[in-house]
Amino acid sequence: MGALYVVSDVHGYRDDLVRGLDRAGFSGGDELWILGDLLDRGPDGIGVIDLAMTLQEQAPGQVHVLMGNHEALALGRHRFPGSKLEDSWRVNGGKARDQEGLTERHLDWLGSLPLMARVGDYLLVHSDTTEYLSWGRSIDEVNATVSAALAVAGDLEAHWDVWARLTSRYGYARADGGEVAREVLGTYGGEVIIHGHSIIGTLVDRPSKEVDQPLLYADDMVLDIDGGRYDGGPLLIVRLD
């Protein structure tokens, strides 16, 4: 069995992802999970999407992608131009060239992405929000609930709700973070929650350029892997042993 790698919040930095996977030693037989936010903010969101789709085609069952809030936002911007979703897309680093490059194949793929998964002892999610609990009491229920919400043609409010809930953060950063993590793990299974979304530097009060490793916190039950690439930090490719 190969190694398990995770990365999150690539935000258009395709070349960093390619180089990072090579440096990390990712190869055939290994498993890779990208925990959302492939596009927006950075230079080549479509390139990141195309790379992820190609890797999945080359290694079916070994490369997986979760939906982040920016995938939900990109879909919303495309479906509801001129709405409050477009306003949020603009202020949250939306790139016109990403929207212009989206094909129907891209959109179908983005809309099919699950929100959460469990691999062995690891519960994989994009965001450090606890809003997943509002969508269901099992991983399958959460994924099905959000998939149904995003599939409703013309339902702006349903789409906005998914975006807004996924965008909330810092669910484990409070004094009771360990207790909150236990509730989430007790609901969905696993021993450690792996997330991106919130830049590590914001949790440790350091500039992103000084971050060089993931952050284990909340009684060692939560691992943040977002080095803050778009904020001048590293794109962390993390091997989970």
d(CA 19, CA 206): 25
Is there a contact between 120 and 189 (Cβ–Cβ < 8 Å)?
no
**CATH number of the domain that residue 211 is part of:** 3.60.21.10
Q: Could you tell me the pTM of the whole model?
A: 0.97
Domain of residue 101: give its range: 4-240
pLDDT along the chain (241 residues), means of 10: 94 98 94 98 98 95 97 96 96 97 97 97 98 98 96 90 97 97 98 98 98 98 98 98 82
**Nearest CA-CA partner of 38 in 95, 78, 123:** 95
The tally of domains found in the chain comes to 1
